[in-house]
Amino acid sequence: MLFVLAYPELAPEAASAIEALRRRHEPDRAALVAVHVTLVFGVAGIQVDALVAHAAAIAATERPFPFTLDSTEPFIGAGEAKLFLRVGQGDDSFRRLHAGLYTGILAPHLRSDLPFEPHMTIATVRQPVTLDSAQTDAGRLDLPLAGRVRALTVAALDGPVLRDLEQLSLAG
């Protein structure tokens, strides 16, 4: 499975606080991948080189941009519940990148049943009621948190390991 992620630059205190929340409320994913915003969600059947070339072309259209994480939002899905930090400022830039990435070779993989809402997942649990603890902990974050995105990363999930394959600078 291939992904395109944005690993943001955050103030050290903000990054530490988010990582601590993730280690507590989604330890498996926190061990798998650093703080990020997912722009392309797990696709198969595409060659790595083709995805890198496509993502590089899209990255070249967007300048590095600031963003903020403004609020928390629960998401209840099939079999699990999540807590998101929602993007405020920079939402439009994330949406442009997502829309651009899901053209060309990725167009058939766009999930129209799940509208893209730029966010950072900070908790994943099996029972929605257990999100209460994560929401309490997230309430201690000094929102909004500011960051900057300068690059996209193409990554591959091979079994239990996520490997960053290529970092693509935003250059628009």
Instruction: For the chain, give the longest Cα–Cα distance.
Output: 43
**Tokens describing residue 66:** 């600031």
For residues 99-122, one letter each, b for 16 or more C-beta atoms within 10 angstroms of the residue's C-beta and e for the rest, the string is ebbbeebbeebbeeeeebebbbbb
Write down the pLDDT at residue 77.
Answer: 83
Q: Where are the domains of the chain?
A: 2-68+90-117+146-169
Write down the pLDDT at residue 55.
Answer: 98
Write down the pLDDT at residue 112.
Answer: 87
Write down the pLDDT at residue 89.
Answer: 98
- pTM value > 0.75: yes
Write down the pLDDT at residue 172.
Answer: 66
Write down the pLDDT at residue 126.
Answer: 85
The topology under which CATH files domain 2-68+90-117+146-169 is: Cyclic Phosphodiesterase; Chain: A, (3.90.1140)
Cβ-Cβ contacts under 8 Å for 80 (sequence gap 6 or more):
124, 125, 126
DSSP symbols for 64-99 = -EEEEEEEEEEEEETTEEEEEEEE-TTHHHHHHHHH
Name the stretches of the chain with pLDDT < 50.
none
For the beta carbon of residue 150, count every other beta carbon within 10 angstroms: 16
Helix (H, G, I), strand (E, B) or coil at 153: strand
